[in-house]
Amino acid sequence: MIANRRPSVSLCAWACNEEAIIDEFVRKTDADLRRVSDDYEILVVDDGSTDDTLARMRALQAECPALRVATHGRNLGYGSCFRTTIGMATKEVLLWNTVDMFHDTAELHRLLQDLDRFDLIQGVRTDLEANPWGRKLTTIVNYWLIRVLFAIRMSEFQNVKVLKRELMDGIHLEARSGFVNAEIGIKAFYLGARIKEVEITFHPRRGGTSKGAKFNLLWRTFIDIVSLWFRWVILRRAPRAAVQHPIEILRRRRWSRPEFLKGRSG
């Protein structure tokens, strides 16, 4: 934990047509956060759901006082969801999770315990067992495109991030797509943040439908990567500290090898 104490935590998430799993997400997240913090909040933005996701979340607020809900009214995408939840956050530590609980919040203690020595903890998966083959392929392409263009050595860019609020306050987000996750890590590195990677397990979706592999979302991510690479790397229009600290990376990363294609087939 931070200096051997239980920190205050803002957990951020977003939902679009997740009525099948939103109740489980809120209840499990609330229980897991209670184990690591005495002062926490669960921030969920409804990103244009057309089912009963928003109604279910509002009903859950009576059961879970820590739950705070916002709505976009229409689907605005990952970048807007990040900005909305960051704007809602009031605690000293920020973290994100997906409503399908790709990351099990029961492992949060492992991500929080080093925040006295580091500014950003990145939960990194070492295999892609939880992904169908199409997501495995897009994940690998996404990783190497970012790694080559930005020349920053990380085991993964699209990962679970736990960071101090004071660090997030110094980062101006520009991405509108799923690249916003990687943007936080890249800009934290530029700003001289102390970053550590921790191995975690990602889990298959428990219900509902995945929305991250649609072509229009992948295309937006590609455009963000290339345009922001040109802005940050070529034009040097991104704040940089005088010194960047080496990232404490994992020694092994199985999913960078050909066996990443093993596992789920659908």
Q: Would you give the end-to-end CA distance of the chain in angstroms?
A: 38
| Strand 67-71 with 120-125, pairing | unpaired
- pLDDT band at 4; cut points 50, 70, 90: low
* H/E run at residue 93: strand 93-96
What are 109-158's pLDDT values in tens digits?
A: 999 999 999 999 999 876 666 666 667 778 888 889 999 999 999 988 98
d(CA 150, CA 234): 10
Confidence check: pLDDT of 48 > 90: yes
Give the pLDDT confidence score for residue 156 in this predicted structure: 87
pLDDT at 250: 83
pLDDT of 197-226, one tens digit each? 998 887 766 666 665 557 888 899 999 999
Is the pLDDT at 260 greater than 50? The verdict is: no
**Residue with token string 């890590």:** 185
Taking the domains of the chain in order of start, what are their residue ranges? 9-261
- Higher local confidence (pLDDT), 165 or 260: 165
Looking at every residue in the chain, the average pLDDT score rounds to 88
When pLDDT is cut at 50, 70 and 90, the band that residue 265 belongs to is very low
Which of the two residues, 261 and 23, has the higher pLDDT score? 23
Report how far residue 232's alpha carbon sits from residue 45's, in angstroms, rounded to the nearest whole number: 29
Digit-coded pLDDT (tens) for 63-86: 999 999 999 999 999 899 999 999
pLDDT at site 179: 94
CATH code for 9-261? 3.90.550.10
Q: How many CB atoms lie within 10 A of CB 146?
A: 23
Please compute the mean of the pLDDT values over residues 15-30 and round it to a whole number. Answer: 95
Question: Which amino acid type is present at position 266?
Answer: G
Distance (Å, whole) CA 236 – CA 259: 37
Mean pLDDT of 35-44: 97
In this prediction the pTM is 0.87
Average pLDDT over residues 181-198: 96
Q: What is the mean pLDDT of residues 154-168?
A: 92
Give the sheet arrangement for strand 40-46, strand by strand. Answer: 67-71, 40-46, 9-15, 93-96, 160-164, 120-125, 195-200
Q: What is the per-residue pLDDT for 253?
A: 59
Q: What is the pLDDT of residue 238?
A: 93
Is residue 112 exposed (0-12), middle (13-18) or buried (19+ Cβ within 10 Å)?
A: buried
Which whole number is the average pLDDT over 54-60? 97
Higher-pLDDT residue of 125, 13: 13
Cβ-contact 156, 184 below 8 angstroms: no
